[in-house]
Amino acid sequence: MARFFIVRISLILVTLLFVSASIFAMTEVLSGDAATAALGQGRTDENLEAMRKKLGLDDPPHVRYLNWLGGVVQGDLGESLRDGQPVGGLVLARLGNSLLLAVFAFVVGVPTAVAVGILTAVKKDSLIDRLFSVVSLVAISLPEFVTGVVLIIIFATTLGWLPSSSLIQPGTSPLSRPEILILPAMTLMGVLFAYIMRMTRANVIEELDTDYVRTATLKGLSYRRVVFRHAVPNAMLPTISVITINIGWMLGGLIIVESVFAYPGLGRLLLTSIETRDTPLLQALALILAAAYAISNLIADLSYAALNPRVGLN
Q: What is the largest CA-CA distance in the chain?
A: 87
Classify burial at 251, counting beta carbons within 10 Å of its beta carbon; exposed 0-12, middle 13-18, buried 19 or more.
buried
Which region among 18-22, 140-144, 148-152 has the lowest average model confidence (pLDDT)?
A: 140-144
For the chain, what is the mean pLDDT? 82
Please state, as a whole number, how many other Cβ atoms lie within 10 Å of the Cβ of residue 262: 14
For 265-295, how does the pLDDT look when each residue is reduced to its tens digit (9 = 90+)? 888 888 888 888 888 888 888 888 888 888 8
Domains, in order of start, for the chain: 2-73 (no CATH), 87-307 (1.10.3720.10)
Mean pLDDT of 50-63: 80
Query: Between 127-141 and 87-122, two packed helices, what is the crossing angle to 10 degrees?
Result: 150
Residue 154, pLDDT score: 92
- pLDDT band for position 310 (cuts 50, 70, 90): low
What's the pLDDT band for 116 if we cut at 50, 70, 90?
Answer: very high
% of the chain beyond a pLDDT of 90: 6
Rounded CA gap, 281 and 279, in Å?
A: 5
Statement: the pTM of the whole predicted model exceeds 0.85: no
